Structure 1
Amino acid sequence: MTIYFYTSQGSHGCFSNFSFHGFELCDRWWPTVEHYFQAQKFAGTHHEDLIQRVKTPKDAARLGRDRKRPLRGDWNRVKDEIMRRGVLKKFATHADIREILLSTLDEELVENSPVDYYWGCGADGSGFNKMGRILMSVRSQLCDTV
């Protein structure tokens, strides 16, 4: 069976980067994985600080996707590992959602984004589903430590 997720609502809403499950990483508190991920595009700059402090993950995404801001030069090389680090920390921090993730056992997890062919499956299902793959990898890692 495949488990599809996309929004922060519903029984698997905690799989979304927009879910409010904060964590500490890099000596800072991040309200969501989206805040952390978008801010890391500008690590060490005032843009990182600004994104960390915005109220919603939607605002963090908007600011992080603004190409008027100077994207770090190594972003394409490091973005997957940065996402993985944030997702792992989120699920390691919160026992309730860790149990939800672990309860999926070996089910395939798919970010059902109709527009994102990198992190999600895209409208036609041909996307890379990097988010789902990261969640499955984190699930496997957490299983080994339980």
Structure 2
Amino acid sequence: MVIYFYKADAPYGCFSNFSPHPICLEGCEWPTVEHYYQAHKLLGTPDEPLMSIIRKAVTPEEAAAIGRNRARTIRADWSIAKRQVMWDGVLTKFLTHSNIQAMLLATGDDVLVENSPRDSYWGCGRDGTGHNALGELLMRVRQHIRHHPEAMLS
């Protein structure tokens, strides 16, 4: 079976990076994975001071707007680093919140697809042929938690 997710307030919305599940990484609390991800585009650049502004953004939409602003200087290694940044954020989210960890594990071996009409890298894109990198990453997180029971929350 295939499970589609996209909006944070829809079924399986906890799989979205916009879901209201704070994470603590690098000594900071991030309101959502989206906040963490967007801020890390600027690490090591002249725009790095904006990372704290992104972290304090009221909504994930606001954090995304700041991070996606084309006037910002994105780190040179972002095309490679973004996958590790996303892994760190998503894994931490599912190791931090037992309720959504249980929901992820309950998906069994179902295929997870971010049904984003606008993102053909992290999602499946408008025509459904995108990379679905977020869905793939979530399935890796699910496997990681299964194979590392010491990491599971009680």
* Coarse TM-score class (shorter-chain normalised): over 0.9
* Counterpart residue number, 2:143: 140
* Cα distance in structure 1, aligned partners of 2:120 and 2:13: 20
CA contact (8 A) 1:39 1:64 kept: yes
TM-score, normalised relative to structure 2: 0.92
Structure 1: state its 5+ residue gaps: none
* Counterpart residue number, 2:130: 127
The offset of 1:67, in angstroms, is 1.4
* Cα distance in structure 1, aligned partners of 2:21 and 2:77: 27
* Counterpart residue number, 1:79: 82
* Counterpart residue number, 1:24: 24
Match of 2:62 among 56, 59, 62: 59
The offset of 1:123, in angstroms, is 1.2
* Counterpart residue number, 1:43: 43
Percent identity (aligned): 49
* Cα distance in structure 2, aligned partners of 1:47 and 1:68: 12
1:43-64 CA-to-partner distances (Å, cap 9, x unmatched) read 2521111100111000000000
Total equivalences in the alignment: 146
CA contact (8 A) 1:111 1:119 kept: yes
Query: Amino acid of the residue matched to residue 130 of structure 2?
Result: G
- 4+ residue runs over 3 A deviation: none
* Cα distance in structure 1, aligned partners of 2:52 and 2:10: 31
* Cα distance in structure 1, aligned partners of 2:104 and 2:139: 9
* Counterpart residue number, 2:152: none
CA contact (8 A) 1:47 1:69 kept: no
